[in-house]
Amino acid sequence: MNPFGVHARSIELQDDELLVAARRDRCIQIGSLKTAPSIKTGFMGSTLNVSIDDGTSVALRGTKHSDAISFKESVQSNWVAHNTALFEKERSTIDDILRVIAKLSEPSCYPSAYLFSPTLVRAKALNSELLTKLPEEAIGVGVFEQIQSIQDFVQNAVVMRDQAIKKFETQQLPQWADFFDTFESNPLTPEQRISILADEDATLVLAGAGSGKTSVITAKAGYLIKSGIRQPEEILLLAFARDAAKEMSERIEERCGEPLEARTFHSLAYDIIGVVEGSKPALAAHATDDKAFMALIKEILRYLVHTVAEVSKSIIGWFSHARLEGKTEWDFKKKHDYYTYVEKMDLRTLQGEQVKSFEELMIANWLFENGIEYEYEPNYEHKVSEGGYRDYCPDFRLKKSGVYIEHFGVRRTKKNDGTYHLTTAPFVDREEYLEGMAWKRDIHSEHDTTLIETFSYEREDGRLLEALAEKIAPFETPNPRSRETLFDIVVEMKQADSFVQLIGTFLRHYKGGGYQLAECENKAGKLKLGRRATAFLSVFAPLYAEYQRRLDGRIDFEDMILRASNYVENGAYHSPFKHILVDEFQDISRSRGCLVQALKAQHVDARVFAVGDDWQSIYRFAGSDINLMRGFGQEFGGAFDGRSDVHRVVDLGRTFRSVDQIAYAAKKFVLQNPVQLKKTVIPAGTADHPALRVVSTYRHDADEKLKQVLRSLHEIAVSKRKPESVLLLGRYRYLAPSNLAQLRREFPSLNISFRTIHSSKGLEADHVILLNLYRGRTGFPSEIVDDPLLNLVSPDAEPFENAEERRVMYVALTRARHTVTLMGSASKQSAFVTELLADPEYGVSGSEALDEVNHICGECGGQLLAFPTKNGRTWYRCEHAELCGYSLNACSECGSGLPEKRDKSGMKTCTCGALYPSCPQCENGWLVERRGRYGRFLGCVSFPRCKGKAKAT
């Protein structure tokens, strides 16, 4: 049996070859033997085995044992001599490898992957081709120890390099102690020192809020110069803003005595273009001005509306209804979830009113587009009480003809007998709804008013608007408004602003990432973004073409970066930079990342040193791509021992800003998104008092409650006998208090300022107050920023809900040293505030808001919110005031509490101790004594909405 070998008739050694006579003769080079020949003795003589590198073998059976021994010794002697000669021939290579290995034992510089990877590749090849074939007895102990040293390196390269890194840093820390102690006014932390010494092919420093990132990147540049690792002209220090670049340049020159100019990405790219082309192309006027950029997008939309009929139709269609997801009541199991969705979508018509369903929006906008004047939910012309508790208000009334429209939320299925069975949404009582439909028909019949009926099943069939047009035709003639007029109305009502922001953000990502329209269309299908994505791309494609046309030979920032990257990649530009230091790395865009990669690729010893915090990545609208930081190793890492993503991550951990309650709460909050990089957080101190607080406000008392918060902070400042800084933060610029100057005069011990959260990045204050935290499309979290459409121009989607807005909230929280006050909305509480209040681990105080969470609306499942009345009592109303409308008065005994069911007796108890019988018909109500035609009885406190009653005892 010799399945992988050859049974030889004879084997002959001639010089450095073995001649094998077999069924197929072959010639084996002595150097291709895997091992020395072996001999196995048997009854029929000895068998000589020869193993070859290619996995085959040759066996010669029945040989005389003494002949086999003699032949084996001859072959082995030749084989050892051959390999020993090769070993000596490779002596210079072997000595080079041994010298490199020695450097790992006593590293004089940081053992970066690029320094050792070529040597490891050579060592592995040498080991497999030669070293494994040299037995100790053949080459002597001294040489064999060298072989073992190389083989140990081959097998344990990663461990050896890690040990070398640790040894180097241990040696360097005391040598550079004076530099680290004096570079800043305060000595650098241990984590900062390690980050500066780290010099991997790609090094990422995770610098959380207030951890001293600017100190790290400037000290790194200083260290490279002072140590002689690099000359100033070999260091590229990149920042995103001119002010930040200027500050870093000044700090380095002041502390190191060497001029080193920090650059912005755009100034670097512009210079690269100038060097290659001999002159710099003109820059588009909007390139340096976000407001001008957004104004240009709006102007292009207006131009397309006026000039291209098909595109005009798409644009108006977007504002009419295509911008929304278009979910219906049937997509929700709970009424509260549906109401929350409707409020979040902000179903605002072209005429300006908010409606209660997507289908009502379609109807209202069709009427408006076709010049048919209407009223939404007008009072019926005859005073009729709908269901006994409010005046009847039909969905629409056409002003000219007086015709009413009721849209009924019913679908239908055809039965076997040809009739239809009507169904309602999962959370709707079908029988009650159908009774309501019949009641409305009877009312119009009784008062001889004309009623047009539309139905959800018509939209399901794809003909809602077509059916509406047919039903209206006998009563009114459409007079369509021009699309130009419609667009001007949309702009005037501020409904275009969010779309302009979305399409501007999309354009920057699209252009900077080098995307194609077909690519976006395919991705839209994979992400199941449906008709909304199709409608958006039908507007974006012509807008982008017009945008490019208007550049007219000028370039924008995306062009600038992409053109510079191309020049670096194709070698037209020769980079002098061997250390590329990037500040605020979490804000890097795909195109900027390509530029850094191209610069690094020009030199084998070039390194990238990036400082950033993915928890503070909040500039997606400006093109930033957080995936570049999350995939840092794959994008910028070096190669070593079979890996191509070798990089170093240093976590600074320590914050010099926030106390423990704020720092830990902010960390827990941002890490709810599991893809955020994990970081250590060491707070600046321990809070003596609750540091996080929620104050729930209503429209009428928001200003007064802000003053109350400022008053309490003013008292703290007075007690400390020193001013306290207060930073008012708003998600949007328009949230700035109009009376800011008055507040400063009223509270002289407070240094009060206002910033948007985005513009506050890098700032800090003793106290932070977040203003107007409410739920809605333009609330906080904003539904615009995390629009799923942006995933079409991002390599990896962020599936976590409100991912970017969560990071915006983290930035807001971590501006504070001592306290954060969240000014929440009692009627439309922000989902973020609700989350912070719901989990005790956040340590958020705000008992008033917490109490409100416990009162659930029995009609829809939302929250019942307490509102003060003029007479000092309390009135409770559902959070979904416009959609649900449920309300009831507080306990008649105390005037503030809300009786709740406490035991199995059927009685409800108020916090004041008052007892009431539970209403047998509704969830929230209780029975109180009333007088009727037949004397006393117990009726529901919610009468006439609820007619629950019982006999008086």
SS3 419: coil
Q: What is the torsional sign of CA 877, 879, 884, 885?
A: positive
Q: Is 895 annotated as a binding residue?
A: no
CA-to-CA separations, 247 to 267, 561, 642, 829, in angstroms, rounded: 16, 23, 41, 40
How far apart (Å, rounded) are the C-alpha atoms in residues 765 and 767? Answer: 5
Q: Is 830 annotated as a binding residue?
A: no
How far apart (Å, rounded) are the C-alpha atoms in residues 851 and 299? Answer: 49
Q: Is 213 annotated as a binding residue?
A: yes
H or E stretch at 761: none
Q: Is 834 annotated as a binding residue?
A: no
How far apart (Å, rounded) are the C-alpha atoms in residues 29 and 31? Answer: 5
H or E stretch at 303: helix 290-307
Q: Is 564 annotated as a binding residue?
A: no
SS3 794: coil
Report how far Cα 263 is from the mean position of its chain's Cα atoms. 27
Nearest CA-CA partner of 769 in 701, 842, 713, 808:
713
The residues facing 52 across adjacent strands are 33
Asked if 629 contacts 204 with a C-beta cutoff of 8 angstroms, the reply is yes
Q: What is the torsional sign of CA 359, 362, 367, 373?
A: positive
Asked if 4 contacts 55 with a C-beta cutoff of 8 angstroms, the reply is yes
SS3 323: coil
- Angle of helix 91-105 relative to helix 113-129, nearest 10 degrees, comes to 140
Q: Is 222 annotated as a binding residue?
A: no
The secondary structure of 18-76 as a DSSP string is EEEESSS-EEEEGGGBSS--EEEEETTEEEEEEEBTTS-EEEEEEE-HHHHHHHHHHHH
How far apart (Å, rounded) are the C-alpha atoms in residues 664 and 841? Answer: 9
The secondary structure of 578-634 as a DSSP string is SEEEESSGGG-BHHHHHHHHHHHHT-TT-EEEEEE-GGG---GGGTB-THHHHTHHH
Q: Is 207 annotated as a binding residue?
A: yes
Question: Tokens 């939910």 appear where?
Answer: 377
The residues facing 18 across adjacent strands are 13, 28
The residues facing 42 across adjacent strands are 45
Burial of residue 253 (CB within 10 Å: 0-12, 13-18, 19+) is middle
How far apart (Å, rounded) are the C-alpha atoms in residues 34 and 31? Answer: 8
Cα angle 480, 481, 485 (rounded to 5 degrees) comes to: 165
Q: Is 610 annotated as a binding residue?
A: no
The residues facing 348 across adjacent strands are 354
User: Which residues are CB-contacts of 447 (< 8 A; sequence separation ≥ 6)?
Assistant: 381, 382, 384
How far apart (Å, rounded) are the C-alpha atoms in residues 675 and 680? Answer: 16
Question: Tokens 């007086």 appear where?
Answer: 402
Asked if 798 contacts 790 with a C-beta cutoff of 8 angstroms, the reply is no
How many CB atoms within 10 Å of residue 53?
15
How far apart (Å, rounded) are the C-alpha atoms in residues 620 and 624? Answer: 5
Indicate the annotated binding residues.
207-214
Indicate the annotated binding residues for ATP.
207-214
